[in-house]
Chain A
């Protein structure tokens, strides 16, 4: 066969065409930014003319690298301490997330816990809600007077002053992030437990092993690789989380890598920021490599599926009702109570005064008053809030459509060409954005697209840029959902269509998509939800005309306009939860399909 013929037969297969297009496009959208990031770490930026003395904008310099890595106290404060804080809080959060998520997963899949369907629905809430939700709730509750100002609800109710370490810094960050990612661990570990062959445990039962011994010697070792995987994924998520440390850490000058990143990129030293972003990407990639290595090990058993229906449930006996009640009360505290505090906080006039006479609807429907919040009208009659809501929904829908479609096609092509080098490349490229800390990703796109570039006009400040960055960032969710959907589908299903001469487009839209509708739609749902509640990705890219709810919330919060911030947060949560519920009820798609797998 001549090369031309080979090429022709290669491109006759639609999945090869998709792979080639994706390989080129994703290299451009993920690898190229990385190079641009590296370059930016060696360049004098406009805001650095004050810092890098005598240098001109655009000159090459080693100044940033020297300052970040090898300048004694400065480096310690810039990189090493925040890095240690990041590691510390991420490890702590992971431990909480996995213990809590794992325990609930075990209770739901392996015991006769009551109200399972309620628990499994509500437990997902903290993950669907924006990550700062719990942080804000924490502040609403445990804010103390030690750093001045109005105490929170807890002090107002009990009169007990919360300690500084309890209200701010590492401890609440660990707890809040742990709670936020517990559902994530629950989804992953629960998936494994659900798929794990119950016979493995029963075989041990018959051989006279005790309940505890089975857990220790059989169940735990078998789910351990999945738990490790969960641990690594949770760790990298915690590491790139910005909002929670920003809310809970800054009052006591507790810095982590992301808050440093935000400060440097927004401040006088973007060069430092680009280096910090690189550090985070290196860590993220390292984590992925460890994960891959672990999965590839001798004892590995990624596909452990058996007869799921035959699971015999552990009887909690006398503990059944107390444990079930405990879980439900706990869930109410972390999933429902925060919403109540937002509602309460959004209705009070003078901060810290929770008496009935202090309630007001000013921040919801009141006209602007210059003496409160700079004349900002109540959020329900504020045209900018409506604009932000509209922008948020518009952006999320467009991003979800793009990421979901491209991800679905990527999943299709990757699984069709499984085992080829091209498929592996596209698979990794599509997963790469997951490792990029959202804010660093935003920063790169900002620097890449702020100038006309490769003949393309600058799209800085446009809606298109937000769509692009969102679609690329959430592609991993969609492509994983797509790959999972395709792996569950036997190749013969499509081949039957090929034999009958059904064109490719029709095979996709009439055969493959309808069969795995729920899985593919999950690939749309997760980007949508993530986009609705995203802050760090957009915080650097938003321009006033494109403002979205989350960035408005962050601005209100920074200005200290607490009531507006609480009210907007409530709106975001209501939108996200209702979209999730409606889509889940109507189509059967659910977020766990995107991250599970």
Chain B
């Protein structure tokens, strides 16, 4: 059973550190997304696992077998790692027809002609591109090329499939459609997917586990909803979720038994941890993170706010509120069109607000937020 393990993997390009001593284990059957802004080292990581890039240091194991080790000098070439790879720009061979593209890998495995033909026909049908078999890639649309690329990758039935931003060249509608297909493929093929993306929505919707990276460093490795609800630090909290989390900066201090008082420019907040009590330093600088859906707008509410702008999209409405010096984002279900500068009341709800240490950005606690 293929399990992928990275141990202290580092990649340097000259002085630039692309990936910094990364430890990561991808379990069999997982759909892992490597997520992060461009230049965070996610593509490099993927290419190192596939064998297309040689790590500077560290060890990589696939299915218990060492495929790379800077210590022992083992470096198995990509074709012997038994993996599939879907490239961002598809990398379809322009001089081969769709069928030739798909059968190329099978020829290398020395399959006999009849079997190749059968397999290709099957894949063309599965991916709904049966009629394009004799065409050249340049004669296909982007979405069709994408399907051919997937068919080519799947043809040899690899147990591990690497995908490097495979949907980024498609338009929004096609992307949604392909996401569904990919998720089904993951289940149907019963293989391990490692998926690189900078689109948090893709990571959220597709993966079983998300690996967030920044500047070559691992930020958080957890199931997507865990990442969403309990982000490890401000960067992760900010990167995941749309519209983005509200961040309110202030000075915190322990009051009462368990509560923390946060003095913000304009309002005083009270935070009640649910994940266990914490102790702050004197005058510790705090960042409070509130997801937009945990701000409730209504007739009653402790806080008076002014509507700064309203962005109704039909199913939901994003409302920007100004509270004192703060500008907060709230999401309301349904279409409500507030007038600009209208006075409203608001409240913080649920116990899933987060406080971070401003200096380190680290998650300090989850809890409930109230206004004094």
Contacts and interface: CB of A to CB of B under 8 A. Distances in A.
Interface in B43-81: 47, 50, 52-54, 77-80
Contact of A197 (B54, B78, B91, B139): B91
A301 to B, nearest CB: 4
Contact of A217 (B53, B54, B80, B104): B104
Contacts of A304: 94
Contacts of B89: 197, 199, 306-307
A205 B93 contact: no
B83 interface: yes
Interface residues of B, number: 28
A200 interface: yes
Given A197-B89, A310-B47, A207 B136 contact: no
A207 B108 contact: yes
A340 B205 CA distance: 69
B310 interface: no
Contacts of A202: 52, 78, 85, 87, 91
B94 A301 contact: yes
A300 B95 CA distance: 8
A298 B136 contact: yes
Interface residues of A, number: 26
Interface in A21-38: none
A65 to B, nearest CB: 45
B91 A207 contact: no
B95 A203 contact: no
A209 interface: yes
Given A197-B89, A197-B91, A200-B93, A205 B77 contact: yes
Interface string B291-309: 0000000000000000000
Contacts of B84: 206
A79 B122 CA distance: 61
B110 to A, nearest CB: 10
Contacts of B325: none
A216 interface: no
Contacts of B91: 197, 199-200, 202-203, 306
Contacts of B139: 298
Nearest to B75: A315
B114 interface: no
A221 interface: yes
A208 B109 contact: yes
Given A202-B85, A299-B136, A209 B108 contact: yes
A216 to B, nearest CB: 12
Nearest to B106: A207
Contacts of A199: 87-89, 91
B143 interface: no
A213 interface: yes
Contacts of A218: 93
A248 B53 CA distance: 50
Given A207-B105, A208-B108, A222 B79 contact: no
A310 B89 CA distance: 13
A312 interface: yes
Interface string B245-265: 000000000000000000000
A207 B94 contact: no
Contacts of A343: none
A217 B100 CA distance: 11
A583 interface: no
B156 interface: yes
Contact of A204 (B50, B53, B95, B104): B104
Given A206-B83, A206-B84, A301 B108 contact: no
B76 to A, nearest CB: 12
Contacts of A299: 94-95, 136, 138
Contacts of B105: 207-209
Contacts of B80: 208
Interface in B222-262: none
A206 B91 CA distance: 12
B136 A206 contact: no
A206 B80 CA distance: 8
A147 B105 CA distance: 61
A205 B87 CA distance: 13
B94 A222 contact: yes
The winner among A200, A203, A301, A312 for most chain B CB atoms within 10 A is: A203
A111 to B, nearest CB: 14
Contact of B104 (A197, A207, A224): A207
Contacts of A312: 52-54
Interface string A212-237: 01000110011010000000000000
B79 A207 contact: yes
Nearest to B77: A205
Contacts of A307: 88-89
Contacts of A208: 79-80, 105, 108-109, 156
Contacts of B108: 207-209, 213
Interface of B: 47, 50, 52-54, 77-80, 83-85, 87-89, 91, 93-95, 104-105, 108-109, 136, 138-139, 152, 156
Given A203-B85, A204-B104, A207-B105, 6 more contacts: A206-B85, A207-B104, A299-B136, A299-B138, A306-B89, A312-B52
**Those 8 A-B pairs whose CB atoms lie nearest each other, nearest first:** A207-B105, A199-B91, A301-B94, A208-B79, A208-B108, A203-B91, A199-B87, A221-B95
14 contacts: A202-B78, A203-B85, A205-B52, A206-B50, A207-B105, A208-B80, A208-B156, A209-B79, A209-B104, A299-B94, A299-B138, A306-B91, A310-B53, A312-B52
